[in-house]
Structure 1
C-alpha cells in the first residue's frame, strides 16, 4: 500500500503533467503537440510521464475528467440565489491554462473537435455533460430553504439547456475575440441570467 506521502507526490506529478499538457494542447492542438514537447514543458522525462499516462489519448480523457471535477465543485458551492451564478460565469472565463476554475477557450474548442473524431473522447464528453446537467438541475429544483431556486423540474431542464448553450457560446466567442470587453459581457449576463432563472409565472 502506498504511503500518504507517495500518494500526495503522485497527485502532484499528475497535476503537473496535466497542466503542461493543457499548455501544449492550447498552443499546438492535441495532434500537433508531441509527448517529447510535453515532457519539456513539464520539465520531466518522457518515461516519468508514461508512468502516469499511457499515451496522449489518456491525457485528453484525464483533462476532461479534471474539468468535470472542477465544474462540479463550482456547482456544489451554489447555495442561495441566482446572483451566485454571475461570478461563476465570469471567473470561469478567465482563460488561464491551469486555472483551477476555468476552461481555456482554445482548449474547449480542441476538446469539442476531438469529440467529433474520437469515440472514446465523445463518450467522455457526453458523460460529463450529463453529469453537469443533472447536478445543476438539482440546484435549480432544490427548495429555497435548502439553497436552491425551487424551479419546477420541467422548467429547470429547459433553463439548464439554455445556460449550457449560453456558456458554450461565450467560450467560442472568447476564442474568436480574445480582447472581449469583460464589463460589457458582465452587463449582458446581468440582464439575461435573472430572466432565465426567475420562477415560472
Structure 2
C-alpha cells in the first residue's frame, strides 16, 4: 500500500477545516468588524481551538487575504461559464443576498470593512487591487467572447470601458445594500433592465 487514500482523506479534512475557519472568520468580521473580531472569537465560532487556526493562518490578515482569494475564484469561475446570462435580472435577484454567508458574491459589509482596512494596510490594499484587476480582466473576456460561448462580441476598446462601468455598478449596488436593504425591487429591476443591456450592446 502506498498510503495515497489516507493522504487524500487527510487533505480533504484539512481543506474542510480551513473552509470552516474562513466561514467563521467572515461571520465574525461582518458582525463585529475586522479589528473587534479576535482569533479567539473566530475559533469559538468555528468550534475549533485557536491553536488549530494558527496551523492554517499566521494572523487575521492572512485570513482576510484568503477570503479575498476564495471570493475571487468563485466570481471568476462564474464569469467564465459558457452560458447566456440575463445580467440585469441576476443583479436585481442578487441584491441583498450577499448579506448572507452562503452567497457566491462578496458580502457588502465585509467589502466595506476590507476597503477601509486597505487604506491602512498595504498587503490588504494589494490583495484588493489584484481582486479588482482580475475581475475586470474576466469581465473584459466575457464581453469580447463570441456569443456561442456566452459572450457579447464587443470590440476590445469598448469592452474595457464597459467592464469598468459594470464593476462600478456592482460595487455601487453593494454599498446601496448596506444603506437601503429594503430597496423597492420592482424599481431596481426596471432600472437595471433599462440600462444594463445598453452596456452589453456591441
Pairs within 5 Å for 1:25-174:
25-80=29-84, 83-84=86-87, 86-87=89-90, 90-91=93-94, 93-174=96-177
Other structure's SS at 1:32 match = coil
Unaligned runs of 5+ in 2: none
Give the SS at the match of 2:125: helix
Of residues 180, 190, 193 in structure 2, which corresponds to 1:187? Answer: 190
Q: Tell me if 1:5 matches 2:22.
A: no
Q: Tell me the distance in 2 between the aligned counterparts of 1:90 and 1:159.
A: 21
Contact 1:70 1:100 survives alignment (8 Å): no
RMSD value over aligned CA atoms? 1.8
Contact kept, 8 Å, 1:79 with 1:147, in 2: the verdict is: yes
CA-to-aligned-CA distance 1:9-30 (integer Å, 9 cap, x gap): 1111111101100110001111
TM-score normalised to the size of structure 1?
0.91
**Count, aligned residues:** 198
| 1:31 alignment partner, SS class | coil
Work out whether residues 141 and 153 of structure 1, in 8 Å CA contact, stay in contact via their aligned partners in 2.
yes
Aligned-pair CA distance for 1:89: 5.9
Distance 1:97 1:20, change over 3 A: farther
Q: What does residue 15 of structure 1 align with?
A: 19
Q: Which runs of 5+ in 1 are unaligned?
A: none
Q: 1:174 to 1:187 in 2, by over 3 A?
A: same
Residue 93 of structure 1: how far off its partner (Å)? 4.4
- Displacement, 1:146? 3.3
Secondary structure of the corresponding residue to residue 51 of structure 2: helix
8 Å Cα contact 1:139/1:149 also seen in 2: yes
Cα deviation, residue 125, structure 1: 0.7
Given the alignment of the two structures, is residue 177 of structure 1 paired with residue 180 of structure 2, yes or no?
A: yes
Mean CA deviation greater in 184-193 or 18-27 = 184-193
Contact 1:26 1:106 in 2 (8 A): yes
